[in-house]
């Protein structure tokens, strides 16, 4: 990459940074560290709360094209999947596993054919704090087992497309600092310290470092 790099981060609330008192999420922390290291980075956080892979697939192209001009080096980072796995009370699973995999394949294939693209898998949730009440009449249950299964499937898709994939679920499950990174009534979105941990893992990942070092 040359001097300035414009990056669109595309995903859901776990990319947006819900529950982060600093309003940075892990993308803001990543790009702040790169700026501190002397790299010229422009950040666009396109995370939308509650979005599934299907909803992201319907908006990512228009939103990124409006922010990534042809005259500048540009790239994209995608992160989603937890919402696909959630059971919505009264409706069942929001996106079936096979459908989620198929949508992700089509979306990431198109993205990687256009610009340098990285893919970050969904993080784990705290099963003991489920269900999650998004609104008085909207209740979700996020099972960690489904997220783990989907992340493994995403990794296989990424390998077949030759897209760098970071299995965030596995890294956080094995991180002794991760437990307790949630508020009492929210076992889905980490607190600020949790986003610090996510950013640290991704910052040291070769897939990310290859864009800067």
Q: Note the pLDDT tens digit of each residue in 83-132.
A: 999 999 989 999 999 999 999 999 999 999 999 999 999 999 999 899 99
How many residues does this entry show for the chain?
A: 213
H-helix segments, 37-137: 53-57, 60-65, 82-85, 97-114
The Cα 5–Cα 115 span in angstroms is 12
pLDDT-based confidence at 160, cuts 50/70/90?
A: very high
Domain boundary assignment for the chain: 4-209
Asked if 173 and 197 touch (Cβ cutoff 8 Å), the reply is: no
165 forms beta bridges with 119
pLDDT range class, residue 1, cuts 50, 70, 90:
very low
Residues 14, 49 contacting (CB under 8 angstroms): no
Cross-strand partners of 46: 10
Mean pLDDT of all residues belonging to the chain: 96
166: Cβ contacts below 8 Å, ≥ 6 apart: 118, 119, 120, 121, 201, 202, 205, 207, 208
Question: What's the token pair of residue 34?
Answer: 């790169």
Judge whether 100 and 30 are in contact, CB under 8 Å.
no
Give me the pLDDT at residue 134, please: 87
Sign of the four-CA dihedral 133, 15, 70, 112: negative
CATH number of 4-209, picked from 3.40.50.2020, 3.40.50.1110, 3.30.2130.30, 3.40.190.80: 3.40.50.1110
Per-residue confidence (pLDDT) for residue 136, from 0 to 100 = 87
Check if the beta carbon of residue 190 is closer than 8 Å to that of residue 131: no
Assign 195 a pLDDT band (cuts: 50, 70, 90). very high
pLDDT for 77 equals 98
The predicted pLDDT at position 45 comes to 98
Instruction: Examine residue 131 and say whether the peptide bond preceding it is cis (omega within 30 degrees of 0).
Output: yes
| Residues 77 and 42 sit within 8 Å (Cβ to Cβ) | no
Closest CA to 44 of 18, 78, 91, 19: 78
Q: Tell me: the pLDDT tens digits for 54-70? A: 999 999 999 999 999 99
pLDDT at 2 over 70: no
């Amino acid at each position: 990459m040359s001097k300035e790099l414009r990056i669109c981060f595309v995903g859901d609330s776990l990319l947006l940074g819900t529950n982060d008192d600093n309003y940075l999420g892990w993308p803001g922390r990543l790009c702040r560290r790169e700026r501190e290291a002397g790299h010229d980075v422009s950040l666009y956080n396109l995370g939308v709360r509650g979005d599934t892979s299907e909803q992201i697939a319907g908006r990512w192209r228009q939103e990124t094209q409006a922010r990534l001009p042809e005259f500048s080096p540009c790239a994209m980072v995608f992160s989603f999947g937890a919402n696909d796995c959630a059971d919505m009370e009264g409706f069942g699973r929001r996106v079936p596993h096979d459908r989620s995999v198929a949508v992700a394949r089509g979306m990431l294939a198109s993205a990687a054919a256009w610009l340098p693209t990285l893919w970050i898998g969904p993080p784990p949730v705290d099963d003991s704090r489920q269900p999650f009440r998004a609104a008085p009449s909207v209740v979700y249950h996020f099972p960690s087992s489904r997220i783990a299964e989907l992340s493994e499937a995403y990794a296989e898709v990424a390998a077949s497309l030759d897209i760098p994939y970071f299995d965030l679920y596995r890294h956080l499950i094995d991180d002794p600092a991760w437990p307790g990174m949630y508020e009492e009534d929210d076992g889905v979105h980490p607190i600020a310290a949790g986003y610090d941990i996510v950013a640290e893992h991704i910052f040291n990942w070769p897939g990310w470092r290859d864009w800067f070092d």
